[in-house]
């Protein structure tokens, strides 16, 4: 169950799901347990030379929709968190990475073609590359999730992460609540996360 899927439920369905999880002693959200060939990854991609090619609200919304709907487009993919900034994005995703890598490549190709057509810049290099980091532990998972949500502040786009619209943070606040997220933040601090590869 992704946060995005939860948000699409009716209030009654949400309440029933939470009651069931509490009755069974399950936390609402926990790091996943992986089937063979699947793992959790933090995938990051930057625009070439960190240019703000995702600078418009419309482009960020389109790219965000593509990333969070990857679960519908690809069998066995679960998107747990995301943020789309004007010059890069991060997505925390459970998947078979060999399959997901091809999908990301095709997504980048489609978006590069579309944006170059819109900007009248045929052949312009849009993406630099994407990086993937396998999540190694519960601590790594929650620090990654916190990092994704804090990214708009880290890069100076907003002073409060809740102000950034193209992120899963709003869904987490709605579903998990501010108090629980604050506990995750204290227990799994970001510290120097991202140094050297997301500067």
Whether the pLDDT of residue 7 is over 80: the answer is no
Which carries the bigger pLDDT value, residue 89 or residue 23? 89
Whether the pLDDT of residue 33 is over 50: the answer is no
Place of tokens 């804090």: 150
Nearest-angstrom CA–CA distance, 77 and 30:
16
Model-level pTM greater than 0.85? Answer: no
Nearest-angstrom CA–CA distance, 80 and 77:
10
Instruction: Please give the C-alpha separations between residue 118 and each of 74, 84, 153, in angstroms, as whole numbers.
Output: 28, 19, 29
Cα 76 off chain centre by: 16
Which carries the bigger pLDDT value, residue 67 or residue 38? 67
Q: What percent of the chain has pLDDT over 70?
A: 79
Point out which residues pair with 88 in neighbouring strands.
Answer: 46
Nearest-5° angle of CA 8, CA 13, CA 18? 105
Whether the pLDDT of residue 36 is over 80: the answer is no
The string of pLDDT tens digits covering residues 156-183 is 999 999 999 999 999 999 989 999 999 9
8 Å CB contact between 50 and 24: no
The string of pLDDT tens digits covering residues 110-150 is 999 999 999 999 999 999 878 888 898 888 999 999 999 99
The tokens describing 168, both together, are: 């899963």
Residues 45-63: what's their mean pLDDT? 95
8 Å CB contact between 103 and 115: no
């Amino acid at each position: 169950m992704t946060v995005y899927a939860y948000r699409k439920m009716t209030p009654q369905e949400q309440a029933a799901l939470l009651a069931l999880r509490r009755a069974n002693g399950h936390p609402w959200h926990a790091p996943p347990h992986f089937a063979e060939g699947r793992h959790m990854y933090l995938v990051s991609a930057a625009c070439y030379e960190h240019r703000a090619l995702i600078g418009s609200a419309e482009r960020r919304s389109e790219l965000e929709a593509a990333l969070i709907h990857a679960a519908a487009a690809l069998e066995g993919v679960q998107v747990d968190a995301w943020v789309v900034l004007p010059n890069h994005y991060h997505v925390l995703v459970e998947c078979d990475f060999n399959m997901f890598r091809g999908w990301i490549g095709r997504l980048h190709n489609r978006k590069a073609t579309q944006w170059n057509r819109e900007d009248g810049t045929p052949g312009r290099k849009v993406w630099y590359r994407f990086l993937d980091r396998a999540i190694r532990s519960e601590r790594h998972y929650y620090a990654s999730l916190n990092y994704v949500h804090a990214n708009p502040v880290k890069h100076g786009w907003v002073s409060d992460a809740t102000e950034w619209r193209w992120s899963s943070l709003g869904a987490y606040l709605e579903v998990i609540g501010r108090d629980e997220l604050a506990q995750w933040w204290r227990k799994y601090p970001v510290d120097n996360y991202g140094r050297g590869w997301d500067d």
